[in-house]
Structure 1
């Protein structure tokens, strides 16, 4: 899946959900993911847990392959949005130029541009987190579509 961070975030998120559905048939048959045991990363993932808790169309937990696939896709989405942010122009450089390494220096040695870059990245992380929580709480019938797609290879459209 190739995500375009210049598109509206909701459009990019919808593409993530479509990839989740499109990969369901294959992912549900991968040995590691088809096992009943849920890996610790999936068990503790707050976005996946929220999506499951708000899934009003099923009365049971998602299988590991559903959790793991969605978790991986959401990590990719967050990375793409972060990379897009740090590549943006800022103070004659990029946000990333000022942000990288900022955690290794004492705040007293950070200039205004570095402090502001850290603030930009922090604010961005908060906004992405709130937005993802909202989207995961309102998945609608996507989990049901993903389950159905896992049953029939022909439904992968």
Structure 2
């Protein structure tokens, strides 16, 4: 009788181990739900706090948390600080929301575009706002007159390129 119980116990252990291995394999194949999107990445970095505040004031956070993919040319706090005095505060007022939305969506290109896809090229690319930005990637990467100071910050729904000035639509 003892032999039978040991065999049964051993079978249960093997079945349990097989079930755990199968569950682990499934978990490894499942997409990571916790991978940060472009908004989460920007919000987690203090150098983008002005951009994050502007995205919130414009009501664009949920859009940028969507499926995408998006390419975001993200100006730093220093880039916003270089605008004429009072500009940022004025843009954050509710009555200037349309202007703010226009400026912010001018920083977003549909699709996930990494620096290696741009290397050596000069392109005019349409933004979500509807106008085009000029990208010159023949010596570093410039977007209009802004320099990309950090490229290829990858999120679950797109890519972020840090830039050193705010892009203003024409």
Common topology (TM > 0.5):
no
Structure label with greater radius of gyration: 2
Q: Counting helix residues as a fraction of each chain, which structure ranks higher?
A: 1
Q: Counting strand residues as a fraction of each chain, which structure ranks higher?
A: 2
Which structure has more RCO (C-alpha within 8 Å, separation ≥ 6)? Answer: 1
Length-normalised TM-score, structure 1:
0.29
Length-normalised TM-score, structure 2:
0.27
